[in-house]
Amino acid sequence: MKKVSVALSVWMVVAFIVMGLTIPADVNAKASAKFTDSLTKCVDGDTAHFKKAGYSRFLYVDTPESTKKIEPYGKTASQYTCTKLKKAKKIQLQYDGARKDKYGRTLVWVWVDGQLLQELLVKKGYVKKFYDYGTYSYESKLVHLQATVKKKKKGLWSGKKEPSIAKTSSSKKKKPATTKKTNFKNCTELRKYYPHGVSKSHPAYQSKMDRDHDGWACER
């Protein structure tokens, strides 16, 4: 029995090294205590930037791609996640095992106003699969929930075409005002002329308006 236990431990260590993960002290560790954080930028359905945690990947869930490669329900999942995070009165995060993936992203459980965001995504049918880098605290719950969602044919499992994302008609969309002004007091004033913000190369760019220091000021 001891030999089997040792062999299993060695195998798990090798697996973590191959996947480029930081090996936790205990791969079966429970999630850490929740800590409050704030959103700085939403990326897509399972990725976001937070003030304390930085560039973060949501633990265990994998939503369809919505940036470089557009997959079915990718935009829908992204819009859902971003809306939840932006409207949340309180965001809390939890670590669970390895804290970084091979891309350097922080791995976290995300709570919005007391609800586990990963669970909400599964319930809506926006999670295409799970990725497993260890044994997680809410893993079993999400797996069982996914099975129920598939039976109910929700979201990705409905067999229906992804609903259109609400957009303002280009013909009715109000055109932004034009100006040669480059010095703005704040982002509210700047967005009247540049709705999507400005890059670092733009004359109106000011570092104080670039909160996440990504070279883009006042982006939404």
What residues are labeled active site? Answer: 57, 65, 105
In SS3 terms, 59-80 reads as CCEECCCCCCCCCCCHHHHHHH
Choose among 136, 63, 130, 41: nearest CA to 94: 136
What secondary structure does DSSP assign to 137-190, as a single string?
TTHHHHHHHHHHHHHHT-GGGS-SPPPPPP---TTTSPPPP-------SSHHHH
Given the DSSP bridges, would you call strands 129-130 and 61-62 parallel, antiparallel or unpaired?
antiparallel
By the 8 A CB rule, do 47 and 103 touch? no
Tokens of 2: 């001891």
The set of residues, in sequence order, having a beta carbon less than 8 Å from that of 144 and lying 6+ positions away, is: none
143 DSSP assignment: H
